[in-house]
Amino acid sequence: MVQLRSGVVIAGGYANKVRRTLFAQISSMAKKGEIPQVPAKEVAEKAKELNTLLYELLVNELKVDKGDVVRISIEYEIKDGTISWKWETLDIEVWRRVDSKEVAEKLMEFKNRKLR
């Protein structure tokens, strides 16, 4: 089984990262002879399938902002030129962005308390 891992990426760019990572992994494995060639159309369709589900979860369910950071991983299997997601292995980590004004205010308060 192979695992797709997005690495840490800004939520607004996760879909592109997932698609590029999937294409790169499959291309690399095919060049090494580890798997038979998978049609590009199949890779694109499976990336779309995963990204559609991730959009529903990240945007509609978790209300993740474009500036937040996510890390996505999921295992998949390739059989007879077809990609099958192992949905039970899907894992998503989310880090929320803190507004820079809030950080500046808290930093100023902290400095005033500690530097007196």
* 14: CATH: 3.30.470.50
Count of CB atoms situated within 10 Å of the CB of 74: 22
Summarised one tens digit per residue, pLDDT across range 31-52 is: 999 988 899 999 999 999 999 9
Which residues does 96 contact at the CB level (< 8 Å), separation at least 6?
65, 68
**pLDDT tens-digit profile, the chain (116 residues):** 899 999 999 999 999 999 999 999 999 999 999 988 899 999 999 999 999 999 999 999 999 999 999 999 999 999 998 999 999 999 999 999 998 999 999 999 999 998 87
User: What's the domain range around 95?
Assistant: 2-114
Q: What is the pTM of this model?
A: 0.86
Count of CB atoms situated within 10 Å of the CB of 71: 15
Q: What is the tally of structural domains in the chain? A: 1
Joined tokens for residue 100: 């820079």
